[in-house]
Amino acid sequence: NAGVMQNPRHLVRRRGQEARLRCSPMKGHSHVYWYRQLPEEGLKFMVYLQKENIIDESGMPKERFSAEFPKEGPSILRIQQVVRGDSAAYFCASSGTGVTEAFFGQGTRLTVV
């Protein structure tokens, strides 16, 4: 049973470009969470999704950021018109139904140059 898969592991984008980060949850998991982590800091919640639904996006910036978790395929975190301040590690986690532990992927490290 594969764990949470994120790709790419590293992503370099120039300012103004779009970044697409993908997350495939663990098999059988229908809850997906995205977190952002700056160096030497904790994880900041961004968005919580279930299949085809955004449950909580209170941590998402109002502009340029969006997330989806379609019926088929991975969850996507999209950042439009990236700026240097978007450089960070973005982690995805998944969990099953109910209050269960969330398992994390290895993250995507976004660098904006």
Partner 1 sequence: GESVGLHLPTLSVQEGDNSIINCAYSNSASDYFIWYKQESGKGPQFIIDIRSNMDKRQGQRVTVLLNKTVKHLSLQIAATQPGDSAVFFCAENYIYGGSQGNLIFGKGTKLSVKP
Residues making up the chain, counted from first to last: 113
Nearer to partner 1, 35 or 69 (CB): 35
Quote the least distance from Cβ 79 to partner 1, whole Å. 19
For the bound state, the minimum distance from the C-beta of residue 20 to partner 1, rounded and expressed in Å, comes to 19
When the beta carbons of 66 and 106 are compared against partner 1, the nearer one is 106
Nearest to 13 by CA among 104, 78, 93: 78
My answer on whether omega of the bond before 74 falls inside 30° of 0, hence cis, is no
Backbone angles phi, psi at 66, to 5 degrees: -150, 160
Nearer to partner 1, 1 or 58 (CB): 58
Spatial CA neighbour of 18 closest among 50, 55, 65? 65
Query: Which residues contact partner 1 by CB under 8 A?
Result: 4, 31, 33, 35, 41-45, 48, 55-56, 58-59, 91, 93, 95, 97-107
